[in-house]
Structure 1
Amino acid sequence: MSVVKLRLAGPLQSWGSQSRFVRRGTEREPTKSGIIGMVAAARGLRRSDPLEDLLGLRLGVRIDQPGQRVPDFQTARRPRRDGSGEITWHALPLSRRYYLSDAVFLAVLEGDRALVEAVDAAVRAPHFPLYLGRRSCPPAGPVALGVADCDMAEALATQPWLASTRVQRSRRDRMVELATVCDVAPDDPRAESLRDMPVSFDPNRREYAWRSIVRDTVTIPNEHGVADSEPEHDPMTLLGG
């Protein structure tokens, strides 16, 4: 089994699983529907194209930098031409949308070597632009982190921490515990259900199925951490006699 690793980071991200009408929410971590949609766009698939090969990939997400959840209010107007040919503008309902600001995630897709290599190649040279959940959320920096011959759990536990240097230095521990969200079998006693498995992105018949996930943690090194035996710097000692 092999994996392809993706770095999902940007000023804003939005990963909705229950967006309805004028309220567009976001989960605290990337959704499978959002990541599969991004990969499908990278491979040049249209919204009406089948997704069967991608749906067989298992997904694991590590929350390297959770960011902040922020709201946004959006207004829009629609032009309408009256009988005289004059155009008037009509306001559409106010919508409330939520985003994750300054977040960083490690996403791992597990599957056959040929398929994950194809995903890696597509993300490096995408057919359509990549975005993090919504078109207004482009990624910051390269997304592809390469392919590895290991399973999803090993990849999540061994990939170096992707948080910014500022965040890593703010955590003085030499080892840090990071939350993970991974696909599991439906009969796993720890499983939660999320309606997040894309069956079709076709605008005329969008369809999502239930997905079983488990929330856990992994512990990884912090290269900017301070050893337990190393005393914290106290600048006031320089004033001593």
Structure 2
Amino acid sequence: MTPRVPTSVLLLRLAAPLQSWGDRSSPLNRRETRPEPTKSGVVGLLAAAAGRSRYAPLDDLTGLALGIRIDQPGSILRDYHTVSDYRGQPLLSAAVTAKGSQKPTSPAKRTHITQRFYLQDAVFLAAVEGPQELIATLEHAVRHPAFPLALGRRSCAPSQPLALGQRSGSLEGVLREEPWQAARAVRRRWGRANGDAPHVRLPATLDDPAGEEVRDDVPLSFAPAGRAFTTRRTRHTYLEVPTGLTPDPHRPGNTGGHDPFALLGW
């Protein structure tokens, strides 16, 4: 009997003024965002942190189990653009010639409309489960990234350190036990409205071979000319999560000490 490989769970706090988690179906002139991080986005972030090229194999990363907890859903922002050539010339199309040069639009088009959608002020807790050795390597990479990290698109830089560290236990169990990661002002408003209840109910999506939803967001290749994806099954659930509004004496770093941003409501 083959011995079971010890596993660990890496927690990532995905927070930024803007995030955008697109999928393969978005046309060039309308880039939408999913309401939560995609597996391709999280795998891409880990690959960038580890310094992998776009042509590197992804089997070890796509084999990791992923869970996403929505701690602060944020809201949708639409970025509307009109594009034209400053010289007054017709725009080029997305099609290319055999030599790799862009073809002109036919019929000639001088103005192009594009729309980009973002999640603003959202916070997610991503849990990535896999072999302990690989998870330890990825945690080090996220803390010391080889390439700049982004939450979906290159323009969406994370606003806080990403890695919260490794945890033991199941994917769902870890997401259930980790305190609420929403902004301080959001948690305080919730606490005033709910009498500082010790737990909050948060939605989560987990990788599950028997799950009810099929998502087409598992990357097979990030090569610019050969991007390819396959599917995964997921399961939706709700988790009772500690709010963190009351200091937990058993959790290091949560002692209720001086907070220099308290007066700002953060």
Give the TM-score of the pair, scaled to structure 2: 0.77
**Could you tell me the percent identity over the aligned residues?**
43
Structure 2 residue 124 is matched with structure 1 residue 105: yes
State the number of aligned residues: 216
Of stretches 147-156 and 23-32 in structure 1, the one that deviates more from structure 2 is 147-156
What's the counterpart of residue 213 of structure 1? 234
Query: Aligned partner of 1:73: which letter?
Result: Y
What's the counterpart of residue 29 of structure 1? 36
- C-alpha distance in 2 between matches for 1:128 and 1:204: 21
What's the counterpart of residue 67 of structure 1? 74
Kindly report structure 1 stretches of 4+ aligned residues shifted beyond 6 Å. none
Cα distance, 1:155 vs. partner?
Answer: 1.1
Select which of 181, 184, 196 maps to 2:208. 184
What's the counterpart of residue 157 of structure 1? 176
Q: Are the counterparts in 2 of residues 10 and 138 from structure 1 also a CA contact under 8 Å? A: yes
Residue 25 to residue 79, structure 1, CA distance change in 2 (3 Å): same
Structure 2 residue 86 is matched with structure 1 residue 53: no
Secondary structure (helix, strand or coil) at the match of 1:216 reads strand
Of stretches 107-116 and 17-26 in structure 1, the one that deviates more from structure 2 is 17-26
* Residue-by-residue CA offset, 1:38-89 (whole Å, 9 max, x unaligned): 1100101111111111111000000000000111113444578xxxxxx958
Unaligned runs of 5+ in 2: 1-6, 92-109, 247-266
What's the counterpart of residue 9 of structure 2? 3
Which aligned pairs between 1:10-21 and structure 2 lie closer than 5 A?
A: 10-17=16-23, 18-21=25-28
Q: Are the counterparts in 1 of residues 83 and 113 from structure 2 also a CA contact under 8 Å? A: yes
Query: Aligned partner of 1:69: which letter?
Result: I
- C-alpha distance in 1 between matches for 2:244 and 2:66: 26
Residue 92 to residue 48, structure 1, CA distance change in 2 (3 Å): farther
Q: Are the counterparts in 1 of residues 168 and 174 from structure 2 also a CA contact under 8 Å? A: no
Q: Are the counterparts in 1 of residues 200 and 240 from structure 2 also a CA contact under 8 Å? A: yes
Residue 92 to residue 155, structure 1, CA distance change in 2 (3 Å): farther
Unaligned runs of 5+ in 1: 81-86, 226-241
What's the counterpart of residue 47 of structure 2? 40
- C-alpha distance in 1 between matches for 2:85 and 2:10: 42
Query: Aligned partner of 2:175: which letter?
Result: L
What's the counterpart of residue 260 of structure 2? none
- C-alpha distance in 2 between matches for 1:139 and 1:31: 16
Secondary structure (helix, strand or coil) at the match of 2:112 reads coil
* Residue-by-residue CA offset, 1:162-221 (whole Å, 9 max, x unaligned): 001111112133121000011010xx2x42011111011111111011111111110112
What's the counterpart of residue 224 of structure 1? 245
Give the TM-score of the pair, scaled to structure 1: 0.85
Cα distance, 1:120 vs. partner?
Answer: 0.4
Cα distance, 1:92 vs. partner?
Answer: 5.8
Cα distance, 1:96 vs. partner?
Answer: 0.8
RMSD of aligned residue pairs (Cα, Å):
1.7
Secondary structure (helix, strand or coil) at the match of 1:94 reads strand
Q: Are the counterparts in 2 of residues 79 and 89 from structure 1 also a CA contact under 8 Å? A: no
Select which of 107, 114, 118 maps to 2:137. 118
